[in-house]
């Protein structure tokens, strides 16, 4: 039982991360695709963290594409002196 608790606590601390979401707009579907592909190239696992989540007309009548990018950073514990 103690080993199980130790394993669970270890998994909890090794998987601690903070997730940030960034939103921005692009003007064309080609820009949306390019942003997603480039983020996939830069990603460690080559999966794009960026996706198009909405398309809507702006005040001028043009279609705007809302992009969401997810950034996950591991939490590191540092000793303070």
Number of domains in the chain: 1
Range of the domain at 32: 18-73
Q: Are 19 and 71 in contact (CB under 8 A)?
A: yes
Q: Are 26 and 54 in contact (CB under 8 A)?
A: no
What per-residue confidence (pLDDT) applies to 74? 75
What per-residue confidence (pLDDT) applies to 47? 87
pLDDT digit string, tens, across residues 8-34: 666 666 667 788 899 999 999 999 999
In DSSP notation, 13-75 reads HHT-EEEEEEEEEESSHHHHHHHHHHHHHHSTTS---EEEEEEEE-TTS-EEEEEEEEEEEE-
- Is residue 25 in a domain? yes
- Is residue 66 in a domain? yes
Report pTM: 0.67
What per-residue confidence (pLDDT) applies to 56? 94
């Amino acid at each position: 039982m103690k080993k199980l608790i130790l394993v669970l606590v270890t998994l909890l601390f090794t998987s601690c991360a903070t997730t940030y979401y960034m939103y921005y707009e692009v003007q064309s579907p080609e820009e949306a695709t390019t942003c997603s592909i480039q983020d996939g190239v830069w990603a460690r696992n080559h999966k794009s963290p960026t996706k198009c989540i909405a398309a809507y007309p702006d005040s001028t009548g043009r279609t705007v594409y809302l992009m969401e990018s997810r950034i996950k950073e591991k939490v590191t514990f540092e000793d303070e002196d």
